[in-house]
Amino acid sequence: MSHLSTALSVAFLLAAFASPARAAVNVVTTTEGLAAVVREVGGDDVKVIALSRGVQDPHFVDANPSLAVKLRNADLLVDVGMDLEIGWLPPLVTQSRNAAIQPGGARRLTAGNFVSPMDLPTGPVDRSQGDIHPSGNPHFLTDPRRAVQVAAAIAGRLAEIDPGNAAHYRERLQAFQGKVAAAGKGWKERLAPFAGRSVITQHKTLTYLLDWSGLKAAGYMEPKQGVAPPPSHVASLVAVAKAAGVKGVLVENYYDRRPADQLRDLAGVKVIVIPGDVGGTKEASDWVSYVDVLVKALGQAVQ
């Protein structure tokens, strides 16, 4: 009897030590949106940290050397790509000395390589057009279709890195796909009555979501990409808003909302401040709740 209990307690102890000893895959992402998708498919088989915060303008993250330390031990780096992080990620990746996460490395997943881009330049490109994204619009993660594609790519790569848990990643991917499909149905129903209506956004951050939902952007607060709105542009948007019947302007909370407020005063539109990513506000705590906040904002903006 005592032998049995000793054996049992040893077994319990072993089990207790064995389970935390199974190392989770260390995933580092550039944005909180990507981290949220990794969390969906990785569950407790991964540990995720994002290099930037959802309250931050992803175009202007500092290349703080402390971030290189986070990259040094990364088993997988997931970035957006399409030049979004060009101003800060490349020096950090070099500084990290992590060979596998260099561009093209086995442990580097650039999400943009797995989705088809919108806003591709169709003619000559130069910076008289502003601080453009010449490889296409990198703000694709709010699109349910593309989010699922990115999730599938991440799940596939996690299964390669951590084959022991491949089945888990597959199951969680399916669960996420189901979740997105269910939520997407609700979102579509909510926005369907307004199909074809237009909003104004600050930057081209909602292009993909608008495309998915059948809504349109009549114009942008930025006169050119990455350029702050001057009063003359705000004035010109008054006519645009009237012609397209725009009822609302959406502005990410890291932008200065004053130009949008001016447009509100001139054109009688609503100003709706939205999170720029997962974590941008309290409600936007994961991918579904973030897009839910955006869909609600769009619903407000079109009526």
23: contact with another protein by CB under 8 A: no
Least distance to another protein, CB of residue 37, Å: 21
Sign of CA dihedral 126, 249, 240, 232: negative
Q: Which is nearer to another protein, 121 or 163 (CB)?
A: 121
Tokens matching residue 2: 């005592």
- Give, as one character, the DSSP assignment of residue 59: G
Element (H, E) at 303: none
Maximum Cα–Cα distance across the chain: 88
- DSSP lists the bridge partners of residue 174 as none
CB of 115 or CB of 267, closer to another protein? 115
CB of 40 to another protein, least distance (A): 24
3-state class (DSSP) for residue 87: coil
In terms of residues, how long is the chain? 303
302 close to 250: Cβ distance less than 8 angstroms: no
CA distance 56 to 28: 17
Restricting to residues 70-129, name those near another protein by CB under 8 A: 72, 82-83, 86-88, 90-91, 94-97, 99, 102-104, 117, 120-121, 125, 127
* One residue of 11, 134, 163, 258 binding another protein per CB under 8 A: 134
# chain residues binding another protein, by CB under 8 A = 44
Q: Give the shortest CB-195-to-another protein separation in angstroms.
A: 28
> How far apart are alpha carbons 33 and 150 in whole angstroms?
11
Contact pattern for another protein over residues 253 through 272, marking x by CB under 8 A? xx------------------
Which DSSP string corresponds to 230-296? PHHHHHHHHHHHHHHT--EEEEETTS--HHHHHHHHHH--EEEEE-SSTTSSSS--SHHHHHHHHHH
What span, in angstroms and rounded, lies between the C-alpha atoms of 70 and 96? 8
- The residue among 155 and 234 lying less far from another protein, judged by its C-beta, is 234
211 part of the interface to another protein, by CB under 8 A: no
Footprint on residues 31-70 left by another protein (CB under 8 A): 52-53, 55-57, 60, 62-66, 68-69
Closer residue to another protein, CB minimum distance, 130 or 186 = 130
What's the CA gap between 217 and 199, in Å, rounded? Answer: 5
> Minimum distance between the CB of residue 79 and another protein, rounded to whole angstroms?
14
Give min distance, CB of 228 to another protein, in A. 6
Regarding 226 and contact with another protein (CB under 8 A), the answer is yes
| Interface with another protein (CB under 8 A), residue from 43, 136, 156, 223 | 136
- The residue (of 144 and 275) whose beta carbon lies closer to another protein is 275
Sign of CA dihedral 263, 266, 269, 270: positive
Q: Residue 24: which of 61, 53, 49, 55 has the closest Cα? A: 49
Minimal distance, residue 288 CB to another protein, in Å: 24
Q: How far is the CB of 8 from another protein (least distance, A)?
A: 38
Query: Which stretches of the chain bind another protein, using CB under 8 A?
Result: 52-53, 55-57, 60, 62-66, 68-69, 72, 82-83, 86-88, 90-91, 94-97, 99, 102-104, 117, 120-121, 125, 127, 130-131, 134-136, 226-228, 253-254
